[in-house]
Amino acid sequence: MTYTVAASLQEAVFTRLTSDVALGALVGAAIFDALPGGAVPPLYVTLGPEEVRARGDGSAGGAWHRLTVTVVSDGAGFLEAKRVAAAVSDALDGAQMSLGHGSLVGVQFWRARARRETGGDRRRIDLIFRARVDDGA
């Protein structure tokens, strides 16, 4: 198992999302690795939890990363959040990204969950992507 590519993968995903024109048109600069202190925007994207499993192949260490990207909206319904979630999916699904350490074999959309947050005032969509990385390069 290797976890040494995790930081590079996170940086690449964050860079990909913050540089995506379609996503930027929907949320502006409201794409976060960690939420800012104080009030948060009414619509934003944030990187979330990650789960990693070993997946080397004999020539190099590798891993499967299940990474979560979350869309949160104060909108009355899910439509606005779903449009942003679609832009996140378009930006990441099948994307080719260079990593500072290791290499990305591929990234695919895996699943999503849309729900109201406690109190019902906010909508949240968690998108989970599977990324296969190698530590050989």
Q: Specify whether the CB–CB gap between 17 and 23 falls below 8 A.
A: yes
- Whole-angstrom distance, CA of residue 63 vs CA of residue 84: 28
Distance CA 61, CA 42 (A): 41
Alpha-carbon distance 111 to 95, whole Å? Answer: 16
Q: Across the chain, which distance is largest between two alpha carbons, in Å?
A: 51
Q: Could you tell me the CA-to-CA distances from 67 to 50, 92, 108, 127 in Å, in that order?
A: 4, 11, 10, 8
pLDDT digits (tens, 9 = 90+) for 58-114: 666 789 999 999 999 998 889 999 999 999 999 999 999 999 999 999 999 999 999
Domains for the chain: give ranges and CATH numbers: 6-134 (3.30.2000.30)
Its pTM stands at: 0.92
The single-letter code of the amino acid at 6 is: A
77 neighbors 121 (Cβ within 8 angstroms) = no
